Structure 1
Amino acid sequence: MRENHSYFPLFLSMEEKRFLFIGGGKVTARRLSALFSVLQEENGTKITVVSPKVLKEVENLENQGKLLWIKREFLDKDVENIDFVIAAADDISVNERAVKICREKGILVNDAGKKENCDFYFPAIAKKNDLIAGIIASGKNHKLAAKAGEAVRSLFGKITEEQDL
């Protein structure tokens, strides 16, 4: 992808969507947390993690039945029938291979280690009741996006306290 591309904040229905996370480390755990912060129970979203090992947080999500953990290295065929791929393996070549395969198949992909390879970003999420905001800094400053997310969460709290939603 080009360095100077634009982003449009688009809110998609997650109903029946299929996600593949490649890798089971900190990035996967954070992005799963962001995803689960907005997912409704029983909406049919399918989440698969492919990694020989995962952090305890990811394993706990599997134990709760929220995702499927495939305990092995990523295979090219893992992207079949998938809507979104998050390539967050420790091995850069695995992530790059996943991006290449996804691009060939028209699957949206996020390469956790290389913003130029991202079709989408995971935003800082602010959610209160029915209000949801996603904030990014165009992949350039995650700390700034996180800080803005905190500010919006605080604002949402004030708005919902003041009004009967």
Structure 2
Amino acid sequence: MRIPFSSILGRLLGAVLLGVSLGLLGCDTVPAPDRNQQPPSVTALQVVPDSIHQSNLPPDQVQDSTVQDSLNLSARATDPDGAVVRVVFVLEPSSNPRGTISGSLSPVEPPLYGGELPLSLPLVNEIYTIRVFAVDDDSLASNRVTGQLRFVPTDSSDTASALTLSE
């Protein structure tokens, strides 16, 4: 008994087509991620004061080789297609870019975020760069806005010390 070759080929091809069609029917389609997501935007950074002069401070704010003062930061953060999750600041001395402090600004009345930061600054003539950016509910980061704070000591001798947030 001889089975024709075309019959075997037909059955084999039918089995392959059946297997492929069953495999394709079992696949779930996952929607592609939305490529139209927009990052948040930060504007209108305000740094108050923008300079601190040791000669203008009361003596009780100067201790050892540091000065205790506060800095008010505020910025507007919006997200065109979602919500701003957090607004982050980084304060960095120009003489030691790795000696940074950072934190989050609280919502004042969204889109305004801000807060008063108690600082302990070394008695060194220094310019601090302040960077602020936002992160939205899609984990996208915003643009970065920058500002500056300058500390001017009464004595111009440079005394190195650490930059910290006061409590």
TM range (shorter): under 0.3
Structure 2-normalised TM-score? 0.23
More strand, by proportion: 2
Q: Which has the bigger relative contact order, CA under 8 A and spacing at least 6? A: 2
Structure that is richer in helix per residue: 1
User: For the pair shown, which has the larger CA radius of gyration, 1 or 2?
Assistant: 2
